[in-house]
Homo-oligomer: A and B are copies of this chain.
Amino acid sequence: MNLTADTNSVEKDEDGTARSVDDFESLRGKSLSPSDNSLAAVEETKFDRGKWKRKSVVTLALTILTSSQSILIVWSKRAGKYEYSVTTANFSVESLKCAISLVVLGRIWKIEGVTEDNRLTTTLNEVILYPIPAALYLVKNLLQYYIFVYVDAPGYQILKNLNIISTGVLYRIILKKRLSEIQCAAFILLCAGCTTAQLNSNSDHVLQTPVQGWVMAIVMALLSGFAGVYTEAIIKKRPSRNINVQNFWLYIFGMAFNAVAILIQDFDAVMNKGFFHGYSLITILMILNHALSGIAVSMVMKYADNIVKVYSTSVAMLLTAVVSVFLSGFQLSLAFFLGITVVSVAIYLHSAGKLQR
């Protein structure tokens, strides 16, 4: 199955390099004698290369999965309206992610044995933070129904770019990681470039959004940014902890919150027509894709950060636009070219800004 193959390739990487993180960290703990220094340097280079490779693989996976996600949505729209319930689909995504994490964990236990870092049992102290991102996303999804009172769908797509800014701001404030000034400038450009790429003749309507619409858009951007940054904080809190255990707990709470959403919104439909009513091949592919994207997001949070995640999903958005233009035979707009130019420069500046620290 493609699904397992894909997860394995990420895992193989994880098996190969995850332990070298521990090795390196234990080396760091000791005060090294001069003769150990060259060994440490070699180790560090190897470690950096492994880290960089893993970061690239998960980022690439996220970009490809997110791109194909939007293409599946376009495909499913062509095929007709959604006839399945969105809440059961979300629940299925969470369950699938949870199942994948458990399968992978099983393999790891067979190879490495059960250790302190990969065992599923946890303390209240560790697990207590895990429901928070799922709760934040639930509130955000609820708000999403109300914002359409004030903003139309294309306007909402444009306002969603506020997520980029909110993620950047919260990343700096909450994770207290410094972005260089050049990198901050690059992030503003990323937001401006993505918005420019989405411009069309109706875009100016968004400037007429009433204050309530703006407030809701900003609150949603903050919730979404906060959930992302919070997830990173949880995952990074214990670097040696196996990512699949961390994912398992995140997804368990995701399942729980989505179960509540089913009860509130679709209880009757599920009772009358069954849980999987209206599922088609595309629905199943979308669930698969969302599950894999979700796992890729976790991996990016573990091995890179929210900033990389935002760049990755922004590039995916642009890739999707190019692909859907090719599929539909439309012409790309000047605004799209300008947006792509600005986003490309932003990506360059993000890495150029890093070198100068």
Task: Please indicate the chain B residues that have their CB under 8 angstroms from the CB of A195 in the complex.
Answer: 334, 338
- A192 CB, min distance to chain B CBs, angstroms: 5
A residues 191-212 touching B (CB-CB < 8 Å): 192-193, 195-196, 199, 201, 203-204, 206-207
| Chain A residues touching B, range | 20 to 34
Q: Does A45 contact B (CB under 8 A)?
A: no
Task: Please indicate the chain B residues that have their CB under 8 angstroms from the CB of A181 in the complex.
Answer: 352
Q: Does A348 contact B (CB under 8 A)?
A: yes
A345/B185 contact (C-beta < 8 A), A334-B195, A338-B196 known: yes
Cβ-defined contact, B199 with A342, below 8 A? no
Cβ-defined contact, B341 with A203, below 8 A? no
A residues 328-357 touching B (CB-CB < 8 Å): 331-335, 338, 341-342, 345, 348-349, 352, 356
A193 to B348, CA, bound (A): 17
A residues 117-152 touching B (CB-CB < 8 Å): none
Cβ-defined contact, A204 with B356, below 8 A? no
Give the nearest-CB partner of A186 in chain B.
B345
Q: Does A188 contact B (CB under 8 A)?
A: yes
Please encode chain A, from 304 to 328, with 1 for each CB lying within 8 Å of some chain B CB and 0 for all others.
0000000000000000000000000
Q: Among the listed B206, B207, B349, which residue makes an inter-chain contact with A182, where contact means beta carbons less than 8 Å apart?
A: B349
Task: Please indicate the chain B residues that have their CB under 8 angstroms from the CB of A341 in the complex.
Answer: 188, 192
Give the nearest-CB partner of A191 in chain B.
B341
Task: Please indicate the chain B residues that have their CB under 8 angstroms from the CB of A335 in the complex.
Answer: 196, 199, 203, 335
Cβ-defined contact, A334 with B185, below 8 A? no
Q: Does A58 contact B (CB under 8 A)?
A: no
Give the nearest-CB partner of A337 in chain B.
B207
Task: Please indicate the chain B residues that have their CB under 8 angstroms from the CB of A189 in the complex.
Answer: 189, 342, 345
A199 to B338, CA, bound (A): 10
Task: Please indicate the chain B residues that have their CB under 8 angstroms from the CB of A182 in the complex.
Answer: 182, 349, 352
Cβ-defined contact, B192 with A342, below 8 A? yes
Q: Among the listed B207, B334, B342, B356, which residue makes an inter-chain contact with A342, where contact means beta carbons less than 8 Å apart?
A: B342
A348 to B182, CA, bound (A): 9
Cβ-defined contact, B345 with A206, below 8 A? no
Cβ-defined contact, A188 with B334, below 8 A? no
Give the nearest-CB partner of A336 in chain B.
B204
Cβ-defined contact, B352 with A185, below 8 A? yes
Cβ-defined contact, A334 with B199, below 8 A? yes
Q: Among the listed B206, B333, B356, which residue makes an inter-chain contact with A334, where contact means beta carbons less than 8 Å apart?
A: B206
- Most chain-B Cβ atoms within 10 A of its Cβ — which of A182, A333, A334, A356? A334
Task: Please indicate the chain B residues that have their CB under 8 angstroms from the CB of A188 in the complex.
Answer: 341, 345
Give the nearest-CB partner of A158 in chain B.
B334
Task: Please indicate the chain B residues that have their CB under 8 angstroms from the CB of A204 in the complex.
Answer: 331, 333-334
- 15 A-B Cβ contacts within 8 A? A181-B352, A182-B352, A185-B345, A185-B352, A189-B342, A195-B334, A196-B335, A199-B335, A199-B338, A201-B201, A203-B334, A203-B335, A207-B332, A207-B334, A356-B356
A182-B349, A204-B331 known, 14 other contacts, Cβ within 8 Å: A181-B352, A182-B352, A185-B349, A185-B352, A188-B341, A188-B345, A189-B189, A192-B338, A195-B334, A196-B196, A199-B338, A203-B335, A335-B335, A356-B356
